[in-house]
A and B are shown apart, each in its own frame.
Chain A
Amino acid sequence: MIRDITIGQYYAVDSPIHKLDPRTKLAGTMIYIISLFLTKGIIGYCIGAFFLLFIIRMSKVPLKYIVRGLKAIVILLLISVSFNIFLTPGEEIFQIWKLKATKEGLIIAVYMAVRLIFLIMGSSVMTLTTTPNDLTDGLEKSLGFLKKIKVPVHEIAMMMSIALRFIPILIEETDKIMKAQMARGADFETGGIIKKAKSMIPLLVPLFVSAFRRATDLAMAMEARCYRGGEGRTKMKPLKYKQRDYVAYTTLFVYFIIMIGVKYIK
């Protein structure tokens, strides 16, 4: 159920992609997404797909696992595809009621879908191969320049990593409370919308209480270890680019040039 969502979950294996600096992966994901929106046409998407499959292969995450993550966007995908097919003016293919499906719409819809799917898969590769802590470390360092204009980068990164850390804890907690209430005869599945919403109260109240309790405990534990913000704070494992990161950047650069090239060849 909730556990099926694979976006944002870390898949623990050892691979060259896992070992990359989180900044490299962040930049890589950004470049990949930009390249998807720059290109149009079958060749460009083929190269994009090839590159993605290559990265997935190297990351040792099973393709099945990443595809499963797409479940979460199926509805979004269906909506945007049908909007594009039926609402783009152009040559008519078929008609349902007052809605005309057009050839141009179909093409745009397919491009849309491909882009969206690659985008989600590409970013899942990043989250699947990077622990949340590394990810926020990378973000903090990459966005460090914002400190100059008084953006509390460290604090935001810390909040983000705590939030990410709490997701599995709260999911587990939800599961536990749900079971405890089910053991008392609560029914979360049947009934109309109003009944279902009402049946959430025995779940949500204890969940909020426990979230606050956990937050207080964590704040206390952090203060007990003298945490007082990012000022002068050093890292146990400072981020440092290694040779493989330069290799990765070069590969990305070549890929990006090819993608731009493909666009102009035609």
Chain B
Amino acid sequence: MSIKLEHINYIYGEGSASPIHATNDVSLEIKDGEFIGLMGHTGSGKSTLIQHLNGLIRPTSGNIYYNGKNTSDEDFSMKELRSKVGLVFQYPEHQLFEVTVFDDVCFGPKNLGLEKKEIEERAKHALQLVGLDESYYERSPFELSGGQKRRVAIAGVLAMDPEILILDEPTAGLDPKGRDEILDAIKLLHKEKNITIILVSHSMEDIAKYAQRIIVMDKGKVKFDGTPKEVFRHYKELEQIGLAAPQVTYIVHQLKEKGWNISTDITTVEEAKREILTIWKNRKNS
């Protein structure tokens, strides 16, 4: 299950007074089981890019290959693609519409034309994955709290049983507890079911903590593509395009300037803690 993008261009409002070139010659390959963090400031083309991945928008020019098959071929089944690539939009709780939580989660699998038993099993499983127990099943999605609504909405996509899950800022507007719950659930999915995850986020800490590969978008182009360590090494360039590195990266850079013999490739608090403790121990011993 791989997706390959070749020279993707997308232009909004072609022929109008102000057309917008949202993605500009983007080429990427997304492999099985990757956990990708997608970054970029507002208007850099992230949202446009992820909508290409499940066929919601077609590129103005360029090709998308899904398991080697070209998605712009006549006989290509968009429905199948959408069932394999789950997309959770920003503020997904705004898409809830059913009378009960359970029915809403069933909407996706129902559209796949599955049998009733299978639909219910998938819905139950999905709700369990996002941490909502049976007491929520018969409640109205509109009377839940913001974080709970969001989890219902994510469950609605998970119930489609996707092989690739794309989340557009799934933690925007949530409190720290809600944020950790959702991110941990996503991590668990990635680990246990080996789902490919693409996480769009503005939080460098979250991306550094969870992602194995980072893609940075700027003005519709891919600016950086690599492991967190590789990408955050360019922290000065990241700042220029309105982004930043995780805070610990700045701390270790400053420590290095103060004469510490510390690696500057550190991106998470855990790593920093380990590194600093080792240095302390060595100092004491010597």
Contacts and interface: CB of A to CB of B under 8 A. Distances in A.
Interface of A: 3, 11-13, 176-177, 179-187, 201-202, 205-206, 209-210
Contacts of A205: 97
Given A12-B18, A183-B82, A206 B96 contact: yes
Decide if the interface of chain A is mainly helix, strand, loop or mixed: helix
Contact of A177 (B82, B94, B107, B142): B94
Given A187-B111, A202-B107, A206-B96, 9 more contacts: A13-B17, A177-B95, A180-B87, A182-B56, A183-B54, A185-B79, A185-B110, A205-B97, A206-B94
B92 A180 contact: yes
B156 A184 contact: yes
Q: How large is the interface on B (under 10, 10 to 19, 20 to 34, 35 or more residues)?
A: 20 to 34
Given A12-B18, A13-B17, A182 B96 contact: no
B83 interface: yes
Given A184-B108, A185-B160, A201 B97 contact: yes
A185 B83 contact: yes
Question: 3 closest Cβ contacts across the A-B interface?
Answer: A185-B111, A205-B97, A184-B108
Nearest to A176: B89
B100 to A, nearest CB: 13
A182 to B, nearest CB: 6
Contact of A206 (B13, B82, B95): B95
Interface of B: 13, 17-18, 51, 54, 56, 79, 82-83, 86-87, 89, 92, 94-97, 107-108, 110-112, 142, 156-157, 160
Contacts of B110: 185
Contact of B82 (A3, A13, A185): A185
B83 to A, nearest CB: 6
A182 B111 CA distance: 10
B95 A181 contact: yes
Which of A13, A176, A201 has the most CB atoms of chain B within a 10 A radius of its CB? Answer: A176
A12 to B, nearest CB: 6
B17 A11 contact: yes
Nearest to A185: B111
Nearest to A6: B16
B42 to A, nearest CB: 15
Nearest to A213: B94
A180 B95 contact: yes
A184 B154 CA distance: 11
Contacts of A201: 97
Contacts of B94: 176-177, 180, 206, 209-210
* Most A CB within 10 A of own CB, among B51, B96, B112: B96
Query: Which of B86, B87, B111, B156 is most buried by chain A, counting CB atoms within 10 A of its CB?
Result: B111
Contacts of A180: 87, 89, 92, 94-95
